[in-house]
Amino acid sequence: MNHSSRNRVLTLIIFGFFGILTFVVLNFLPAEDQLTKRFVKCLVDRDDDINWFALQLPMWIVFFVGIGDLTIRMREAWLDSQEFGKNYLPADGTTLLGPIELKAIYQNVRDQREDRYLPRAIARIILQFRTTNSIGQSHATLSSCLELFQHEVDLRYNMLRYFAWFIPSMGFIGTVIGIADALSYAGQANPEDPQFLTIITSSLGFAFYTTLLALIMSSILVFLMHLSQGKEEGNVNSIGQYCLDNLINRLLEQK
């Protein structure tokens, strides 16, 4: 496991711990009035006694792990955007790139971190041009790089898409359990029992509260995921424009 993977795993573990901590803290919130009791019931399924095995616990853990993964992705997007300020390529309107200039640029980008998109694209394009001496082939290499980068970005959101599916699934499971408990009790209990409506509404409350919490969590994750993925895909598009304007269009084919 490389350094980047270890940091990612450590970050996700820390955020998962924050999910557990949030669940614990919410269980100790004072709930004196009816509105506060409903609020706590929705978040952690707590009545008078603390429920340490509530269905909301895995929802909170997965939600915070997803937030942690999004934090990593947003940081990576920001680092990739900073690459454009390193001036790997000439940005004036007159410089053309011959063998000497390309050698210096290639050496510069090879010394950079290999997990950044921009230096990887520049290095591949220059290597292709030095091998084939063809601007057309170099342009095709740029297009291939952009397609691979887009696919790479998309793959990095697979786990987040699963989290966005898992949370509402847990909510719906809670809904099924709550409704099943309510129907099971209604079929066996005496309707004249003073506790009849209280127990029925408590089971139905659990059913709908878990779905409500799950939909809110999932909505937050999906919204942040679209923002982060949009930023990363925007960086890939910017790489294409930057390399086309400052590298492909400046290449000099050798006669």
Looking at beta carbons, which pairs linking 75-79 to residues 24 or more positions away fall under 8 Å?
A: 76/232, 77/228, 77/231, 77/232, 77/235, 78/231, 79/116
Give mean pLDDT, residues 197-209.
64
175 is in which domain, residue-wise? Answer: 1-255
Q: Using alpha carbons only, give the angle 205, 209, 213 rounded to the nearest 5 degrees.
A: 175
> At 171, is the pLDDT very low, low, confident or very high (cuts 50, 70, 90)?
confident
CA distances 242 to 10, 48, 212, 214, Å, are 34, 61, 45, 42
d(CA 245, CA 110): 21
d(CA 179, CA 181): 5
Q: Is the pLDDT of residue 245 over 70?
A: yes
What is residue 33's predicted lDDT score, i.e. its pLDDT? Answer: 64
Q: Is the pLDDT of residue 249 over 70?
A: yes
> At 137, is the pLDDT very low, low, confident or very high (cuts 50, 70, 90)?
very high
> At 66, is the pLDDT very low, low, confident or very high (cuts 50, 70, 90)?
very high
Q: Is the pLDDT of residue 207 over 80?
A: no
Provide the domain count of the chain: 1
Q: Which two tokens stand for residue 234?
A: 């925007």
Element (H, E) at 227: helix 196-246
For the question of whether the overall pTM of this predicted structure is more than 0.75, the answer is yes
Alpha helices in 84-195 (DSSP H): 99-110, 117-132, 135-155, 158-188
d(CA 216, CA 222): 10
> At 25, is the pLDDT very low, low, confident or very high (cuts 50, 70, 90)?
confident
